[in-house]
Structure 1
Amino acid sequence: MSYSVAVAGASGYAGGELLRLLSQHPEFRVTTVTAFQNAGHFLHEVQPHLRSYGQLVLQPTTPEVLSGHDLVFLALPHGTSGELTAHLGDDSLVVDCGADHRLSDAADWAAFYGGEYFGAWAYGVPELPSAGGKQRSALVGATRIAAPGCNASTVSLALAPGIAAGVIDERDLVAVLAVGPSGAGKSLKVENLASEILGSANPYAVGGSHRHIPEIQQALRLAGATAPTISFTPVIVPMARGILATSTARIAPGVSAADIRSAWESAYADEPFVHVLPEGKMPRTGDVLGSNTALIGLAVDEAAGRVVTITALDNLVKGTAGAAIQSANIALALDETSGLSIDGVAP
């Protein structure tokens, strides 16, 4: 069976990555692409690497243009997709790559985003440990899916197994991330100019102000936490894409190093896209470039009484577009891995 697909926000980084992956999907057929300022231009004029889409023209991003497709992916700025989705019929599966439908608490939305709250959809991190199993079960048959924030899903996948198994304390969680500037989108921002980031590591949203914090806490509550606290610090580094997250937690009393490794390995043993590396091995962002794979390295700092996880993923694939397609595959009862690769690109 072939599903007709529309991609809104096709001129941006997330939209372009969706289209790159969708071009290899055996069941999804992209028929419509939309944009705002670039409407009327050929897709290849703004995404010159997407040669397989031939003469596809970017159309205006309106409910009328997006309606009537089997599947709609939204790769739009925060606060934009919520207004559109209210006008899309229930006959379409809609996957939002923005933040508008990720948070289940309206107070969190008001505190970290502001503006109208549009309600929560099924959260698109299939591998996330949750009560009684995995978040995957919530995606089966879903018609509305919120793809995750890339930083949020990286940290959540890194820490959730320990929360679910009760081997780490949910308080005093710490995460420091090296991230590529593509995660901030394609819009011109002075702080993301090459002259600002080349040869420099630039922290931002320091001191509990980053918008992904409530999303991480929400995911950890799904895994069994009650009131998790986390210090979260992202740092822009000069690589176009990728996340390397160092996430640490206090070890629960009486828990051994073997217990900790067992918790993570058991959580992801059967997952096609989340892999726990052997003891002593740590991942690099280069190992996952272009893939839908998250690699997790695990260590125990006995002197500090903390578990240390190092997680690498491609923010545009596993962090955004790949997660969106993987979740859509599950919702439509397709092979979860369709159109997605576990292999990266090297060098």
Structure 2
Amino acid sequence: MSLALPRALMFVGVDWAVDEHAVCVMDPSGEVVTGFVIGHAADAIARLVRRPAKFGPAGQLPIPIGRPNGRLVDLLLEAGHPVVPVKPNAIKVWRESEGPSGAKNDLRNAEVVADYLRARQRRLRVAAPYSDHTKAVRTVVRTRGDLVEARVAATNQVSALLAAYWPGALALFADVESRISLEFLTRYPTPTSAARPAIKDLDRSTAAHLGEHPDGEVFTSLPRSGQINAAQMLTEEGDCRPADESADSVAALAGCTPVTKESGKHRAVHFRWACNKRFRQAMTTFADNSRHASPWAKKIYEQARASGKDHPHAIRVLAHAWIRVIYRCWLDGRPYDPEQHRSAAALTKQLTGQNAA
């Protein structure tokens, strides 16, 4: 979610790299006030957060960021800076229009980012800070997601090693990550043996934080959302409900709508690569599960498949449809009720009548 960009005293451009990061501070006329380079250590990041303060209140020093999430964004938001999400491709196009020679360096890149923000400020929006409830759930559920990925990778590695050197042990168990399998393989220590208990602890922590979140009931009321998937959807969607946002903009953020490009008579529709990947995974997982519990969701999925779309495409179509419903529930602060969902209620009534006949 996003808000209008406030009046700025200075514009701070950051060129984010792997080992060091260039920073440029530009005044409203386009003159560079200062530029500097910092390392990636914690104290250097803290200096990036503190140093622009000499030029004015943090609330009037917007900072554009290519990724609107992560620890740096949290630190900038906590310091009071308006954080402006910008698309890397947009910066690339802007850089090419400003410097057609293609020559560039880190400080010049930071200057280009600051100038892009200065010139486009009326069209850009500020990322809304997460509430404490959402940050708590997000931290737990993202840590769980990272551990699940690590567990899957470790399990695959163990399976490959057993298949190569001890196929009998692999054939002995239906699931390599099951408790009995892990106990049997304890003499061969692996990350898998520790990952599973940690994930269970995070599952309990996620459920506890979700129960305390003011929007938790909205997301857990969705058919087959569960606790973990509900928490994933909630934390990636965020907190703010500004009037200038729409369900379609949320769907775009989740990568559940295509990108349409038109030029003259040419029109092309492409898969949306630029999005919040975690949000897309959360929404498509829920959509896929929901069609087994909701007749309305099942109908939308089947219609999409009947029109020639493959399974992943049909699931994104269903996820987009769900986002419209969830957004309405979210704005009203009311749990999902299929009786209040007109399309779902009408379909249920129709199916009930057919069964009675």
Shorter-chain-normalised TM-score: which range?
Answer: under 0.3
Q: TM-score, normalised by structure 1?
A: 0.27
When you count helix as a share of all residues, which structure comes out higher? 2
Higher strand share: 1
TM-score (normalizing by structure 2): 0.26
Q: Which structure exhibits the higher relative contact order, with contacts defined as CA atoms closer than 8 Å and separated by 6 or more residues?
A: 1
